[in-house]
Amino acid sequence: MPFARSWLGLVAASIVGLAASPAWGQDSDETALEDQWVIGNLVFLAYHEVGHLLLDQMAQADQRNNRLLAEQSADDIATWLISPEPGEEIESSEAVAAIGGWLEMAEAGNDASVAHLPDVEIYPDAVTRASRIACLLLGSDDSEPNAFAPLEMVAALRFAVADCRETYLALDESMVELFGDSEDIGDNPVARVRVQHDPVGPALVDARAFLIESRVLQDLRDDLVEYIGLPVNVVLRGAACGRDSPGFIYNSSRQEIVACYEEVDWYLFGEPEDGATGAEQDPAAIDGLGARPRRIPPRQPPSPPNPRRQ
């Protein structure tokens, strides 16, 4: 995968309480770290929606019959797709950044108790999501010592660490069976993937600019065409979704993944001020499958973690 940002040190620090609240626009090493944290979380959210896309267009799964299983499966697919291959540096996995994001969400507000999050019963809680991602990453590496050993404490929050290898192998087998092996991709792309970033008003102009400059959707398009190589048909669209933004969303009837500018803005700047108004809700957000909205204020920015031990 083309994403190559350093996350092992960040998540190792998150185990003992590190959480990031980005502040894009400041010229500092800390701001660069925070921008990377934002990008890592946005990439995972985008791949979560790719999970819904693949379940819909490739597996023809009825994701509305069991929404909890659909959301868990989308997380698993996202983790599997962006887990480092043998020999790759493990810091390339944005799944590691997502662990920190879910842990922060759990610590900041106990998301399951927040009344205005819709359909909380159909989503895994934030700690479970972080723990399962950590378990799958641990299971993806059979070397000694395990390259993801710093994540054992997170995996153990909900899962037996000793079972993580078997859990990953079962996922790997099912993914290869459903979607094939990326090594089988030919020279002629079969995916039809378009990228667009809708115009937006002044309140979200920085979020739109960040999404464009960070190439989250463009890099995802390249991955779908060049690495995943399945015959999917989808528009990757940045858009304003309204103040009740669903975050990122996959809408099967419109064949599009929408990256809501409000979600990008939340990661960059935190909760909007009271009384702030948003755009009308985007039609794609009304009947889609999403990773869930974020409406919990992020914590203050951390100091950059210590350099990773060589």
Stretch among 117-131, 224-238, 260-274 having the lowest mean pLDDT: 117-131
Q: How far is CA 224 from CA 122, 195, 253, 273, in A?
A: 28, 12, 19, 37
Residue 237 predicted with pLDDT over 60: yes
Same domain as 126, residue 199: no
Phi-psi group of 252: left, alpha or beta (phi > 0 → left; psi -120 to 50 → alpha; rest → beta)? alpha
Find all residues with CB under 8 Å of 239, minimum gap 6, and list them.
198, 200, 258, 259, 260, 261, 282, 284
**151/19 same-domain check:** yes
Which value, to the nearest 10 degrees, does the dihedral of the CA atoms of residues 246, 250, 251, 257 take? 100
Token pair listed for 117: 């999050």
Predicted confidence (pLDDT) at residue 25 exceeds the cutoff of 80 = no
Least confident of 2-16, 124-138, 151-165, 269-283: 2-16
Question: Which residues does 223 contact at the CB level (< 8 Å), separation at least 6?
Answer: 1, 2, 81
Q: Is the pLDDT of residue 50 over 90?
A: yes
pTM to 2 decimals? 0.76
Whether 35 is in a domain gets the answer yes
Structural domain span for residue 232? 192-290
Residues 35 and 107 in one domain: yes
26 and 167, same domain (yes or no): yes
* pLDDT score recorded for residue 18: 32
Q: Is 199 in the same domain as 135?
A: no
Q: What is the mean pLDDT of residues 127-150?
A: 89
**Residue 124 counted as domain residue:** yes
More confident residue, 161 or 283: 161
The answer as to whether 227 is a domain residue is yes
Q: How many residues comprise the chain?
A: 310
pLDDT at site 294: 41
Boundary-marking domain end, from 152, 168, 184: 184
Kindly state whether residue 309 falls inside one of the protein's structural domains: no
User: Are 207 and 92 in a shared domain?
Assistant: no
Domain count, the chain: 2
What Cα–Cα distance (Å) separates residue 167 from each residue in 162, 179, 181, 209, 221?
10, 18, 19, 39, 29
Q: What is the pLDDT of residue 303?
A: 37
Q: Determine the average pLDDT of the residues in 274-295.
A: 47
Q: Indicate the pLDDT class of residue 95, thresholds 50, 70 and 90.
A: confident
pLDDT at residue 270, rounded to an integer: 75
Task: Flag whether 298 is in a domain.
Answer: no
Single out the residue in 184, 217, 249 at which a domain terminates: 184
User: What is the C-alpha separation between 140 and 165, in angstroms, rounded?
Assistant: 7
pLDDT band at 118 (very low <50, low <70, confident <90, very high): very low
Residue 260 has pLDDT above 70, yes or no: yes
Q: Which band of pLDDT confidence, cut at 50, 70 and 90, is reported for residue 24?
A: very low
* Confidence tier at 19 by pLDDT (50, 70, 90): very low
Q: What mean pLDDT is predicted for residues 170-195? A: 76
User: Residue 306 domain-assigned?
Assistant: no
Residue 46 and residue 310: Cα distance in Å, rounded?
A: 31
Same domain? 262 vs 151: no
Indicate the DSSP class of residue 260: E
- Averaged pLDDT for residues 116-139: 77
pLDDT of the residue at 53? 92
Which pLDDT band, with edges at 50, 70 and 90, does 109 fall under? low
Q: What's the pLDDT score for residue 183?
A: 58
Which residues have C-beta within 8 Å of that of residue 46, sequence separation ≥ 6?
216, 217, 220, 236, 248, 257, 259
* Reported confidence tier of residue 68, pLDDT bands at 50, 70, 90: confident
Same domain flag for 31 and 81: yes
| pLDDT above 60: residue 180 | yes
| pLDDT at 238 (0 to 100) | 96
Predicted confidence at residue 86, as pLDDT, reads 63
Lowest mean pLDDT among 103-112, 115-124, 188-197, 208-217: 115-124
Between 57 and 160, name the one with better pLDDT. Answer: 160
Q: Note whether 144 and 230 are same-domain residues.
A: no
240 close to 200: Cβ distance less than 8 angstroms: yes
- 224 located within any domain: yes
Partners of 237 in the beta sheet? Answer: 196, 258
**111 in the same domain as 53:** yes
Percent of the chain scoring above 70 in pLDDT: 64
Does residue 145 have a cis bond before it (omega within 30 degrees)? Answer: yes
Q: Which residues does residue 193 pair with via DSSP β-bridges, in sequence order?
A: 234
d(CA 118, CA 26): 34
| Same domain as 285, residue 232 | yes
Question: Are 114 and 257 in the same domain?
Answer: no
Residues 6+ positions from 298 with CB-CB distance below 8 Å = 19, 20, 21, 104, 108, 266, 267, 270, 271
Is 130 a domain residue? yes
Measured CA to CA, the distance from residue 159 to residue 164 in angstroms comes to: 8
Instruction: Tell me the pLDDT of the chain averaged across its residues.
Output: 74
Q: Tell me the pairing of strands 233-239 and 192-197.
A: parallel
Q: Which of 184, 218, 239 is the last residue of a domain?
A: 184
